[in-house]
Amino acid sequence: MKKEYKFKKDFFWGSAISALQTEGAHLEMGKGKTTWDIWMEKDPDRFFGGEGNAVAVDFINFYKDDIKMMKEIGHNSFRFSIAWTRLIPNPLTGEINDVAVKFYNDLIDELLANKIEPFVCLFHFDMPAAMQDLGGWESKEVLKYFNIYAKKCFELFGDKVKYWFTHNEPIVPIEGCYLYNFHYPFINDFKRGVQAAYNTILSNAIVIRTFKEMKAEGTLKNDREIGIILSLTPSYPRDLNNPEDLKASKICHDFFVRSFLDPCVLGEFNKDLNKLLKDHNLMPEYKEEELLIIKENTVDFLGINYYFPRRVKAKEIKDEKVTGPHSFYDDYEMPGRKFNQDRGWEIFEKGVYDILIDIKNNYGNIKSYISENGMGRHGGDERDTDENGSINDDARIEFVKDHLIMINNAIEEGSNCVGYHMWSLMDNWSMSNAFKNRYGFLFVDRENGLKRKIKKSGYWMAEVAKNNKIVEVE
């Protein structure tokens, strides 16, 4: 039996990368330092294999060849991020790096010449060191500099770039820096994390206000759109009949999904989460006028990153002190779950359907697209290589296909999801795992001058994108 899942004619097919993970030339061509450079200098062993991102996958030199391959695998759109400290090496002085202006202009031109729509993100985890010295997202001062940087990007590239994103997964630096100790400078303080999260949300709204002002005064074309990329990891309780599990799961969902989604899409903070924060003396400092900015400047477009669900159960041993979201729930390992051993993440494709239906029902069915989804395989691609050198990454194809079918189901039920970008175009450097896991449609041969090679998943995606459909043979 053959079953077809059709997508709309103008569905966005593509992939995503970030500057920090792919560009290379990390302190060359005038680039200023980020917190990652500081961390690598201090503690290189913290990165898998002691490998930093000095060269990453040298996208800065390979981009033309990479765009050719994007074309070959059917991309009509592609997300990359601008590195704040490449464009403005020292945000305190604001001086623009012309070499960076040229690089990003060339990149955008090359994409457009190949009929690939650029999606541009302003911030993908790469905090300038000078901004961290001011307090990073904890400091409202940094918001001013972020807005200056954003405005510069709109002025320089807004003529050519239609789709903009303020942040990629803004909750991750909060988790990494303030909750779970995996991003420098390891502040580990829940209350300060809540302040940084609030400020990040405010920064999103301030930048959107600038974007709108530029449209109103005619310095940006009217059809330009701005959004945010959120990692939406829905929570599922261990036992649907256990009220304590349900309560724990709801709190977890409020923390990891509603926290950013509500203010960025609806313009208001989630009331239950607010109450919980108030009850535990965790509320951030805020001003009424800031709440108004957040209310009036919500996103046009939502990027959804989805990798795994959260399984939750009621807390078994109560924490003496509230130190983070985990003071309200325990993680639950569901027996029989599908699991990607290499990355340590559960595979649950229905999660993406659940998110899209939630967005449809509770967030005005705002226009969205899947901005990241994918499968990290540890050395997996060598494992998949056959005697002719073809990389048969069937596990990745299955992963993407199963998620796309769920996305298709949600669209059939009315979801306004307009695209799918896989993480990632090519294997790249990761903040948590350096080069341990491979994610790409393109294999990057690190033993052989970083040469790229299209994997089977890339050829498979080319067919899907060309035909706008998935064909499943049962």
Q: Count interface residues toward ligand BG6 (CB under 6 A).
A: 14
Which residues, 6 or more positions from 395, have their beta carbon under 8 angstroms from its beta carbon?
375, 377, 380, 384
The whole-angstrom separation of Cα 359 and Cα 207 is: 23
Strands 225-231, 163-168: pairing kind: parallel
Nearer to ligand BG6, 56 or 205 (CB): 56
26 binds ligand BG6 (CB under 6 A): no
Minimal distance in Å, beta carbon 125 to ligand BG6? 7
Return the HEC string of 355-368: HHHHHHHHCCCCCE
433 binds ligand BG6 (CB under 6 A): yes
CA 150 to chain centre: 18
The whole-angstrom separation of Cα 161 and Cα 18 is: 16
Minimal distance in Å, beta carbon 168 to ligand BG6? 5
For the record, the structure tokens of 340 come out as 């990607």
Q: Is residue 372 among the annotated active site residues?
A: yes
The active-site residue, picked from 23, 138, 169, 349, is 169
**Residue type present at position 132:** Q
343 binds ligand BG6 (CB under 6 A): yes
DSSP per position, 158-218: TTT--EEEEEE-THHHHIIIIISS-STT----HHHHHHHHHHHHHHHHHHHHHHHHHHHTT
Nearer to ligand BG6, 203 or 231 (CB): 231
**Residue type present at position 295:** K
User: Which of the residues 407 through 426 are near ligand BG6 (CB under 6 A)?
Assistant: 423
User: Which of the residues 99 through 128 are near ligand BG6 (CB under 6 A)?
Assistant: none
372 binds ligand BG6 (CB under 6 A): yes
Nearer to ligand BG6, 114 or 433 (CB): 433
For the record, the structure tokens of 117 come out as 């729509």
Nearer to ligand BG6, 187 or 434 (CB): 434
Nearer to ligand BG6, 183 or 238 (CB): 183
Strands 310-313, 330-331: pairing kind: antiparallel
Q: Is residue 387 among the annotated active site residues?
A: no
**Residue type present at position 93:** T
CA 188 to chain centre: 22
Q: Which stretch binds ligand BG6 (CB under 6 A): 27-35, 215-223, 283-291, 429-437?
A: 429-437
Q: Which stretch binds ligand BG6 (CB under 6 A): 145-153, 209-217, 394-402, 432-440?
A: 432-440
438 binds ligand BG6 (CB under 6 A): no
437 binds ligand BG6 (CB under 6 A): yes
200 binds ligand BG6 (CB under 6 A): no
274 binds ligand BG6 (CB under 6 A): no
183 binds ligand BG6 (CB under 6 A): no
Spell out, one character per residue from 150 to 179, where the chain touches ligand BG6: x when CB under 6 A holds, - when not.
------------------xx----------
The whole-angstrom separation of Cα 200 and Cα 11 is: 30
18 binds ligand BG6 (CB under 6 A): yes
Q: Which stretch binds ligand BG6 (CB under 6 A): 105-113, 386-394, 431-439, 464-472?
A: 431-439
Nearer to ligand BG6, 237 or 309 (CB): 309
Q: 282, 432, 459, 469: which one contacts ligand BG6 (CB under 6 A)?
A: 432
371 binds ligand BG6 (CB under 6 A): no
> 328-357 in b/e burial notation, b at 16+ Cβ within 10 A?
bbbebeeeeeeebebbeebbbbebbbbbbb
Q: Which residue is nearest to ligand BG6 (CB)?
A: 430
Judged on CB neighbours under 10 Å (0-12, 13-18, 19+), 71 is middle
CA of 406: how far to CAs of 77, 351, 423, in Å?
Answer: 21, 8, 17
Residue 466 three-state SS:
helix
231 binds ligand BG6 (CB under 6 A): yes
Nearer to ligand BG6, 121 or 294 (CB): 121
138 binds ligand BG6 (CB under 6 A): no
Whose tokens are 């070959």? That residue is: 72
The active-site residue, picked from 23, 138, 349, 372, is 372
190 binds ligand BG6 (CB under 6 A): no
430 binds ligand BG6 (CB under 6 A): yes
CA of 164: how far to CAs of 94, 168, 226, in Å?
Answer: 21, 11, 5
373 binds ligand BG6 (CB under 6 A): no
CA 405 to chain centre: 21
346 binds ligand BG6 (CB under 6 A): no
Minimal distance in Å, beta carbon 439 to ligand BG6? 6
Residue 15 three-state SS:
strand
Binding interface with ligand BG6 (CB under 6 A): 18, 21, 168-169, 231, 305, 343, 372, 376, 423, 430, 432-433, 437
Residues labelled catalytic = 169, 372
